[in-house]
Structure 1
């Protein structure tokens, strides 16, 4: 609960291709070290090529960066917002070089992912450490990180509003709320990673902290609704060998299992995602929607937080929380799991296949 001085915010994104020629090089970056041939990558590339080889994620981050800058200005907070990606330009190391050239020495990172797992938290911390090492800035520049914000009101509010609007739209079409099924969707991860998500000294139940956080947020979203139809947590976008167990059920399987005699409509909620990127556009808006419509269900997909004012304001709240050393008791959280901690615990969110790599903003390893 200290009040450190920060020079700038580092917005950390996943990155995405911005043209057909970028697609395979981008996918090589994403799968680096796995030895996946280009022929296999081309199978995934078809999703991007369907949309002109362009992922919307970079444009989203440009918009989010601008929105954060506007909110900082409105609050009179003098902080620059830098932006760097894990898998595509501008890269995190470019942002670190930019920071050094501007004379910045202490950065506060915001990763565009709300939940706890290797790919959504620890890997960003490893990315920060690698960027410092690659640029020779380790020991010169410090990068901290805001807490995981899965249950911060600013992140949850857009989902509450989105589900409310979706249920109202279906009612306007004469659909009984009792015949609606809500599917909260997030990215599937290997079960071994899920079980190691979050601190190792806490038992979060099946799926570890990752699944527990999503379930807790979905419960908050549904508790805020005027009507409360049936709902479930589902997963999407699994990859990897069939021999490796991943979190289930897959959203398409869940749709196929719904009783057509009892359900008229489904609401798809991209609960695990900050913005509309390829896995939302393809896995939800294309594959899941087609599966639902083939079964005869009416479908409504709710928005991601994007640059919703509540979300943008919430992110700056997290920045000021760190800058001002706000006491834990005064940090907002909508579930009993939060508020999450600033500094990650030992062995938090281990990747059993890759092992532990240097990471910032946590207790070693």
Structure 2
């Protein structure tokens, strides 16, 4: 079975250049047109960070996981190359018959994980057995990986300022309409799972207090998005007398525009206008603990596939 069993990692995807932003955004919206101002703003953010490393880092995570598992690991993107459908086709050509699929968004949601799952199942059809991991927001090694990144940054800044610096955990916001409960659908678990990850990271560092949670990167489309926002949270902290804060995104597993621009540039500038200092722990990226978490999840999935 070894040469016919594989793991597929899924991520959002990112364009390779600012010229590709319009096509990328059409993929994100399913073809719905966006105002030119929105397209220009996304171009601006990409130019400000140079180039999003998301694809490179995700491929590296896949390589490290393949070394750990000694089985093929593929990487597919929902909104850019390598597209999920193309990667699934490649897996079929290479005679993979059983695949564990892990979305690199640990917190389950209909608007993210649900769309990834639909894309994989549609592309695979009956050509291979699929075990899709719905969510892994509370995996012990994921929690440990975040805590490992956070602890030295928090301790250093707290020592420098001689106070317990507040930590704001964040996850990507989603439109409120996409998680609204209805008789036909169970409640969307996203907000609960995002806050669960934050709480477990905070609890793993006994001295960490106070901590808060905010949703970041609200979209530029109309309608309400999940909050509170980071901007609102920083203002509240400033009004309580805090002079510094640390933001740790627990919904992202590697650097990309929502980290390198939204946090490192936009939120840092916002904090500066409030007279606050803002820091961020390094992203997980190639964290051995993250790879261990993925390997454990993959092995459990492979065992289930083998029993079918």
Give the alignment's TM-score, normalised by structure 1.
0.77
Q: 1:43: how far off?
A: 2.4
SS at match of 1:119: coil
Matching of residues 1-40 of structure 1 within 5 Å: 7-40=5-38
Matching of residues 216-295 of structure 1 within 5 Å: 216-242=196-222, 244-260=223-239, 262-295=241-274
Q: 1:196: how far off?
A: 4.3
SS at match of 2:189: helix
C-alpha contact (below 8 Å) 1:104/1:141 kept by paired residues: yes
Q: 1:187: how far off?
A: 0.7
- 1:110 aligns with 102
- 1:331 aligns with none
- 1:127 aligns with 119
Q: 1:316: how far off?
A: 1.0
C-alpha contact (below 8 Å) 1:175/1:264 kept by paired residues: no
Q: 1:167: how far off?
A: 1.8
- 2:192 aligns with 212
Q: What is the aligned-residue RMSD (CA, Å)?
A: 2.4
1:233-270, Cα deviation, whole Å (9 max, x unpaired): 1011111544x221111101211222356212201011
Matching of residues 137-176 of structure 1 within 5 Å: 138-176=125-163
C-alpha contact (below 8 Å) 1:147/1:318 kept by paired residues: no
Alignment partner of 1:69 out of 60, 63, 66 = 66
1:151-209, Cα deviation, whole Å (9 max, x unpaired): 001211122122321221113313311xx221111111122323449x955x7xxxx52
Say yes or no: does 1:190 pair with 2:175.
Answer: yes
- 2:88 aligns with 96
SS at match of 2:161: coil
Q: Taking structure 1 as reference, are residues 80 and 261 closer, same or farther at Cα in structure 2, changes over 3 Å only?
A: closer
Partner Cα distance (1:194, 1:306) in 2: 28
SS at match of 1:233: strand
C-alpha contact (below 8 Å) 2:76/2:82 kept by paired residues: yes
C-alpha contact (below 8 Å) 2:38/2:220 kept by paired residues: no
C-alpha contact (below 8 Å) 1:234/1:254 kept by paired residues: yes
C-alpha contact (below 8 Å) 1:8/1:104 kept by paired residues: yes
State the number of aligned residues: 303
- 2:44 aligns with 46
1:88-127, Cα deviation, whole Å (9 max, x unpaired): 1111122112112111122211111101112321010111
Give the alignment's TM-score, normalised by structure 2.
0.90
Q: Taking structure 1 as reference, are residues 241 and 66 closer, same or farther at Cα in structure 2, changes over 3 Å only?
A: closer
Say yes or no: does 1:316 pair with 2:295.
Answer: yes
Larger helix percent: 2
Alignment partner of 2:284 out of 287, 302, 305 = 305
1:207-230, Cα deviation, whole Å (9 max, x unpaired): x52121122222222222242322
Q: Taking structure 1 as reference, are residues 292 and 64 closer, same or farther at Cα in structure 2, changes over 3 Å only?
A: same
